[in-house]
Structure 1
């Protein structure tokens, strides 16, 4: 007999969660305005959460086998969706059409509007590199160069020694666009080595809030994702000591960049 797609323990946990959600919903409906009740706004949230839980855990119970066939072009579609949406938002912000960029985010149900500053997170990191090169202590609360102290590790400041000031605040737009392209190609690579269901998950992730905000802000966490992909490529293609040493060095470098 084919196995269920969801382990029995998760099913029991889901049933308990649905029962608890139903109990909360009953309490809200019975006494929405009482002094000891939940906020009325939670009614719709509870209904939505209950519906999502029922769909997420009931469907796998009814499905014994799920085979998904995908085209060999689907991985490239994943990358194209990621790049096109992110570049579209960047272009709208860069050309002064902030309201249109915000409307695009609203249509995708992304909770935060785009920043007026292009690649805001990346700009802050690059500014900290510039300030450090001028002799400021970027980790001090009031350092005289930045409004807030830098939240990234000291390894990011080593980028000030790269020739031609490549990692400078003025390079944020160009580096941000390059980051979008590289991140989208990383999704393509992951999708190529994923199964049909995995490819669909990556396609959904490419239009999700976390991914689009990561690229639109130019968040430095994208570099950590690249490092993970590069280490997998090294270990997969050249399973040798030097490849593992190089992978370890890359992960160590990422550790000098991230505090959390």
Structure 2
């Protein structure tokens, strides 16, 4: 899970608003997920850009870019890339890598961009964070409205049925001297990840909460939004999608 998604967070039992607005802005989110597989991410970027046959001067938007690992790699391939995220701290860090063809800014994915892009990538389950289903429609519509006439949208989401079948209920992950106690479960059409840990004598608890959106859910939203779903893949090698076997649900649309 980004894995990023709907969650509420508490610090000393003080609730905040949207979980992703608080959790993604903390240093602990980046500590916990620091060991993500860059080679796997780069494989997806290589395969997507080749499959889409993007021109060398293509403009790409990395939507919900975090600290910019996908955007930075795409820029290294020669593309003009803009990375956007709701987390001000993430954008601040990512901006250290900015150049003439790599830009970062704070942006809400529900809002249409001021510029048009040849491709918009929403990667690593950076979708389904919102409590209101209407926000899913707004996000996909905003992606579509921000594309050029020949542009492509890509959403890389978890394959819910595979994830539920293979959930690791309890795990302790030790990173940088912090023991993250993680519990995962499926409830009320959401996949939850409870994260508890202690640092410098202070206890923390965060709850990631991602909507369990399946292919048929995305198909319905896209149909309502007048969007054409071009292709579906089941992993980062862009192999065929199988409902019960594929690890990912990768959708290409325009």
Same fold (TM over 0.5): no
For normalisation by structure 2, the TM-score amounts to 0.28
* Structure with a larger share of its residues in strand: 2
Instruction: Determine which structure has more spread, i.e. the larger CA radius of gyration.
Output: 1
* Structure with a larger share of its residues in helix: 1
